[in-house]
Amino acid sequence: MARWGMVFDLRRCIGCNACAVACKQENSLPDGVFFTKTLSEEVGEYPDVTRSYVPTICNHCEDAPCERACPTGATYTRPDGIVMVDRDKCIGCGTCIVACPYDQRTRLEPEMLDKGLFGDGRLTPFEEQGIGRFTVGTVVKCTFCHERVDAGQLPACVATCPTEARIFGDLDDPTSRPRQLILERRGRQPLPEKNTNPRVFYID
């Protein structure tokens, strides 16, 4: 079975946030909820200044501290390595949010679903069709667009990226593009000192 993972090519990321928009649309995410963000930083001094971009996402760790911390078993890892949350088991205690060293989990508060994307309390047809997948008080996170992956498609953020800065594939397949990039360009995991063994790698 595949063991899914993702590589971020920092040379290619231009900070356009197309990934974040695609993720919002694919997952019908309510106001204030993001499964992926792109951090930016200015480097250098005038006039030699550049801006660097660092995409972030749930790292689907092999030794996921969120899973170990969850008291109900709501957080679990699929056989293919994708870390999930079972909303029927989630009690919204927030233990997993505290345990995650990458700040990649969000508890759904009532106002996130009630006020709508325009803040006037009215939901658009797009919001109405997607709100059923959320339960107030539970925790949500990136799932690598598991439904798309199960159908043989790429995660929405990967499919949308105009510069191919996000590369998704089977980390156990030595011929896969992510695996080759990790080896060729010395891919590194975020916060390796946390010993979570993320399935997300960065190359530059």
The CATH number for 160's domain is 3.30.70.20
Residue 142: name the closest of 161, 127, 163, 158 by CA.
158
- What is the sign of the dihedral through the CA atoms of 182, 183, 188 and 192? positive
Q: What is the pTM of this model?
A: 0.93
- CA-CA-CA-CA torsion sign (191, 200, 166, 173): positive
Write out the residue range of the structural domain in which residue 11 sits: 4-203
Query: Greatest CA span in the chain, whole angstroms?
Result: 54
Condensed to tens digits (0 to 9), the pLDDT of residues 73-109 reads: 999 999 999 999 999 999 999 999 999 999 999 999 9
Q: What is the pLDDT of residue 88?
A: 97
pLDDT for position 175: 97
Beta-carbon contacts of 144 under 8 Å, excluding residues fewer than 6 positions away, are 4, 6, 60, 82, 155, 168
Nearest-angstrom CA–CA distance, 203 and 187: 5
Domain count across the chain = 1
User: pLDDT tens, 144-203?
Assistant: 999 999 999 999 999 999 999 999 999 999 999 999 999 999 999 999 999 999 999 999
